[in-house]
Structure 1
């Protein structure tokens, strides 16, 4: 197997008034193709910032992020967006569905961006996998939180991503609904052979991944093999 994500000596700070806040300090790790990998740590430890840097949504102050064999530091914003469209899937805590589009249209968006001719057909197949084919014409406001996250799951796998980034994927859901979404996530991920990188505060969920990175104060305190 080859490395799908290579992070070396990552540093990130933000300005807060006249103060500089160090968010991440000398972060290094690698993830192999097909791995499942969790990032945990207390609130404010830099988890979401790290995920955004790994996905090319933000740029570090220094250090290297190689995603799918490409050094993100050599790409401009448009090139990073193109790489994400082709190689990356996302699941967010707040779903981030487009409110003016139906469930089917939301799932089809990544396919249409890639110019796929059968976007609606593939989108419907994915909605069937998450048990929402009958809700395909409903808008996000007409769906429960769990249903919205299942639509987001279907959308995340639409472009057959090489790597999927999930930021607190059950954070806005009750325990029972969250467990159902997680089962779907791992099932879809296994079927697709996708690499999964998730940020979570749920240690039981983290333990279902092959490795767990613990962040504390913007630094790696440990990387453990969980399963």
Structure 2
């Protein structure tokens, strides 16, 4: 199958004064298009840093990352932003909805930026799919955490991304609400054929994916296609 993400000998070092902290060291893996992939590990293991690098949100210190056929090392900031806008979706732990926009407007904006003519119609269809057909005109402050994350799901899938990065998507939700959101995430992912990359500390969520990469201290300790314990 086609590899949508290739990471080779990746290293990331942060400098604070005279001290250097290696956050990621010699990270190599690949992800097949259309698959689901979990990155797990304790706090401070480097998993969120890894996600940011793979998505082109941060600069690589050493190594290479190829995302959707593009070598991120060879792209400037504007080119990386264009790649993200055209082919990448995001879901964050804290939802990151625009507070001054309604649910419908939050989902419509990415479509409008891509020049979609029926942005509002498409956005309504997605909100219907995530069970928010009665919440079009509600602002984020008028929605529960679970509802806000469902709006974020609809927004993330609105542009039909080739790959979607989800950073602790249930981190701010209670267990029951989190399970509902995850079911919607996997259902939409399957329907649209998107590649799904989930960063999580939740091993139960990780086991729902086809592949699991586990980090500890910035290094890979597990890289397998079977469930982990």
TM-score, normalised by the number of residues in structure 2: 0.98
* Shift, 1:113, TM fit: 1.2
In structure 1, C-alpha distance between the alignment counterparts of 2:19 and 2:83, rounded to whole Å: 34
CA drift at 1:80: 0.6
Decide whether the 8 Å contact of 1:209 with 1:226 is kept in 2. Answer: no
What secondary structure sits across from 2:154 in the alignment?
Answer: helix
State the match for 1:175 in structure 2. 175
Which residue pairs with 2:166 in the alignment?
A: 166
Q: Distance in 2 between matches of 1:189 and 1:40?
A: 20
- Secondary structure, in 3 states, of the residue corresponding to 2:96? coil
CA contact (8 A) 1:108 1:120 kept: yes
How far apart in 1 are the matches of 2:184 and 2:151? Answer: 11
CA distances 1:144-181 after superposition (whole Å, capped 9, x unpaired) = 00000000000000000000000000000000000000
Q: Separation in 1 of the partners of 2:96 and 2:156?
A: 11
Work out the CA distance in 2 between the residues paired with 1:164 and 1:70.
16
Post-superposition offset of 1:49 = 0.1
Tell me the distance in 2 between the aligned counterparts of 1:87 and 1:189: 14
Aligned to 1:114: 114
Query: 1:28, 1:158 → 2: CA distance?
Result: 30
Say whether the 8 Å CA contact 1:210–1:225 is kept in structure 2: yes
Distance 1:181 1:69 in 2: 30
Residues 208, 226 of structure 1: 8 Å contact kept: no
- Structure 2: give runs of 5+ residues left out of the alignment: none
Name the counterpart of 1:3: 3
> Is the counterpart of residue 78 in structure 1 residue 89 in structure 2?
no
- 2:167, 2:17 → 1: CA distance? 28
1:14-93 superposed matches below 5 A: 14-93=14-93
RMSD value, Cα: 0.8
Matched position secondary structure for 2:89: strand
Task: Supply the distance in 1 between the matched residues of 2:13 and 2:60 (Cα, whole angstroms).
Answer: 8
Q: Distance in 2 between matches of 1:110 and 1:82?
A: 12
Hey, what does 1:201 align to over in structure 2? 201
Under a length normalisation based on structure 1, what TM-score does the superposition of the two structures give? 0.99
Q: Which stretches in structure 1 are left out of the alignment for 5+ residues?
A: none
> For each residue in 1:38-89, what CA deviation from the matched residue of structure 2 results, as whole angstroms up to 9, or x when unmatched?
0001110000000000000111101111000000111111111111011001
Dislocated runs of 4+, deviation >3 Å: none
How far residue 226 of structure 1 moved from its aligned partner, in angstroms, is: 2.7
Distance (whole Å) between structure 1 residues aligned to residue 124 and residue 195 of structure 2: 23
> Secondary structure of the residue that 2:5 maps to in structure 1?
strand
TM-superposed CA distance for 1:17, in Å, is 2.6
How many residues get paired?
Answer: 227
Q: Deviations over 1:185-209 (max 9, x none)?
A: 0000000010000001110110000
